[in-house]
Structure 1
Amino acid sequence: QAAILQAEKLAEAKHENPAINIVVQKIVGTSIKDKLNLPGTIIPWESVKMISEVTGKVVEIKVKEGDRVKQGDLLVQIDPRDSQNNLNSADAAYELALTSQERAQKLFDMELMPKAELARVNAHLKTSKAALDTVKLQLKKCEIRAPISLIINSIPAKVGLNMNPFMPIPVLELINIDKVKISVGIPEADVDSIRGLEYFDVIIDALSGRKVRAKKYFLSHQVDTMARLYNLELVVDNPGGNILPGMFARVEVVKKAFSNAVSIPIYAVISKDQQKTVFVEQDGKAHLRIIETGVLEGWRIQVTKGISAGDKVIVVGHRSVGEGQNVKVVREVTDAMELVN
């Protein structure tokens, strides 16, 4: 009879506290990273704005936008006629000064000219030679040539436009994108963590989310006074030229990585009374555990205290149970991502 009474009590208890179906994640060691995702902008490795160093009219443009040019290639021709006329005059003046100097030297050697007069003639020769060299240089500058191998990005100048060294617009702009830089603003609080890093993963959305490996090139030593950010420049090889200036980039900054860490879905954590808790399943019952958390990566959060490897954390049904609640495990996973696959 006592056995019958005990069975009846158990049946009543089960009826009053029916088992709730749950899904659990069995804790196994995994890696988790403390990382930032920061926006960045692609900029050319080199950008050269070329101006006209002489005054004159554009008579010919030898290139078009997008052309790849080599060092020394002729890009734009400025009307050379004024410079050529100046050269002819300077050359004639130099020849006359040279003849005068030769005659003066002979007279001086014959003691028919004072030394002071010879010095004046020699000085005039030097002045004439300097003027000739200057005009030759001016004529050479009528040909605007590529300083290095680059790509023509834009050509503000047009045929017929009068150019001079003081104009606010360049004749043309050239860029080098065989490599590109990525400019990123770093918050003050993260500068120390980033200072010791060398490589970064970069995602470029415009290239279908392509991920590239970038190397640190420069970290500024002075904060931008407006944004209160430190400028970090990364460099990426770009042999195909697919990464273009102006593209948006997302830079993953791994401040610290943890291996064999305990992590669970952030949604499994229940915050109450300024405490973070989870429910674990043990022997068919739910038990409340107070936990402490660490870094957050995506939807996963690191648990530094309160649960350990082998524990079964309730990740589905956890908001429907209480301490000591009867539960029934309908599925067990080791990674919550299995639930969405």
Structure 2
Amino acid sequence: MRISGKTIIIFMLVLSLIGIGCSREKIQDRKQRKNPASEIEAISVEAEYPTIRSMAENLEVSGNLEPLAQAEVYAKQSGLVKAVYVKEGDRVKEGERLAKIEDDEIQLSFRQAKSSYELMRDKYQRYQELFKEKMVSEQEFKEIERSYQDARSNYELYQLRLKNTELTSPIPGMVVERLCEPHQLLSAMEKAFKIAQLDQFKVMVSVTEAALVKLKPGQEVAIRIDALDGETIAYPHQGTIYNISPQVDPNTGTSRLEVRIPSPPPGAQPGMFVRMKIITAYKPEVLAISKRSLVREEPAEVWVIKNGQVELRRIETGLADEGFIEVFSGLAKEELVVTAGQEALSDKSRVKVVNGDESQLTPERAKPENPELELNSEAEKK
């Protein structure tokens, strides 16, 4: 088979083109090997500089409102309820009548006992004079004296039973429970009412022994009552630590704490759920970073940007609040820290800051408005 000259020329041209293409690929490959970073796209991240700010450490606890003073009223005398004078929600004074138990039989017995007592009293007084004049024997006088004392005791007993047919309030306050109705049979020592003073409240909570050493009576407490304060994140009410139990429960490692609320808001009622914050530590000026910067908390690590690349840095941390954490060491305020986009990073990754040009981000001094911190700051100064 003969191959024409034209065919040979075409074949040679194809080989030349293939050779040129391969050479270009090799040159491009060598360029990429010399400068691989130029072809790696920078990862978009958000970043911030550390700030100088006030920091407070809060102990968060919760509990339920309890009246500062309350009393349960029990029937001291059994019988049918003749009348009930109050309903739940009524305010009562100390000593005010709450209910009456039927006393017809007791009234009759009382009158008989009173009559017998008065007769024996008069007789005893006569015998006292006769005994002084030695007109009766000592034995006769002693018998009359015993009869008189028995009559007086019986009279006082029915006087007390008659008094006990009236149920009265032992303290001023509000009727929060009414457990009896007219014509109902009450047994002796059966609970009939509960009275509570609602002008002041207390909350009993348990705290760990570690937190216990940071607390003391008189310390201020910020309070939020969910039912009254709705969705707000603020703690608009104030209370104080009144008492701390002197012992720790060995089974739970906790101690009881009493917080008092001297001026509860309108509508506060026993049993309402309460959230509380107690400032246990405060520093007016510390270096802090956003908690979003943390890659992990124990040990604390963050991504730091240097010359467009990141390095993983271990830091020592201190106080923490809802959004920030104090930095003891491992980071300077002039160093830029990644706050978002950490998931895609590895050591020496190239990054692009998308929440502002890195050259435009500058360290700033942050003093967030926080009423709790300001209040505590004033207390620290005093």
TM-score band (shorter)? 0.7 to 0.9
Structure whose CA Rg is larger: 2
Deviations 1:254-284 (CA, angstroms, capped at 9, x unpaired): 3222332222233322349x85432333454
Which residue of 287, 307, 317 maps to 1:293? 317
CA distance in 2, matches of 1:275, 1:109: 98
CA distance in 2, matches of 1:201, 1:125: 65
CA distance in 2, matches of 1:231, 1:312: 45
| Preserved CA contact (<8 Å) 2:215 2:280 | yes
User: Counting strand residues as a fraction of each chain, which structure ranks higher?
Assistant: 1
Q: Alpha-carbon deviation of 1:147?
A: 1.5
CA distance in 2, matches of 1:118, 1:58: 45
CA distance in 2, matches of 1:108, 1:270: 103
| Preserved CA contact (<8 Å) 2:217 2:241 | no
| Preserved CA contact (<8 Å) 1:177 1:241 | no
Q: Alpha-carbon deviation of 1:75?
A: 0.7
Matched position secondary structure for 1:245: coil
Aligned to 1:54: 77
Aligned to 2:210: 189
Code of the aligned partner of 1:93: S
CA distance in 1, matches of 2:288, 2:132: 100
Structure 2 vs 1, CA of residues 140 and 287 (structure 1 numbering), >3 Å: closer, same or farther?
same
Aligned to 2:151: 128
CA distance in 2, matches of 1:256, 1:94: 72
Matched, 1:264 2:289: yes
Which residue of 62, 74, 80 maps to 2:103? 80
Matched position secondary structure for 2:100: strand
Structure 2 vs 1, CA of residues 275 and 114 (structure 1 numbering), >3 Å: closer, same or farther?
closer
Structure 2 vs 1, CA of residues 159 and 18 (structure 1 numbering), >3 Å: closer, same or farther?
same
Matched position secondary structure for 1:137: helix
| Preserved CA contact (<8 Å) 1:28 1:310 | no
Could you list the runs of 5+ residues in structure 2 that have no partner in the other structure? 1-30, 369-382
Could you list the runs of 5+ residues in structure 1 that have no partner in the other structure? 1-7
Aligned to 2:334: 310
TM norm structure 1: 0.83
Within 5 A, what are the aligned runs for 1:210-249?
A: 211-224=236-249, 227-238=252-263, 241-249=266-274
Matched position secondary structure for 1:144: strand
Name the stretch that deviates more: 53-62 or 251-260.
Answer: 251-260
Matched position secondary structure for 2:215: helix
Structure 2 vs 1, CA of residues 271 and 161 (structure 1 numbering), >3 Å: closer, same or farther?
closer
Q: Alpha-carbon deviation of 1:128?
A: 2.2
Code of the aligned partner of 1:155: R
CA distance in 2, matches of 1:155, 1:43: 18
CA distance in 1, matches of 2:35, 2:136: 138
Aligned to 1:254: 279
Q: How many residues align?
A: 325
Aligned to 1:22: 45
Aligned to 2:12: none
Aligned to 1:5: none
Matched, 1:105 2:119: no
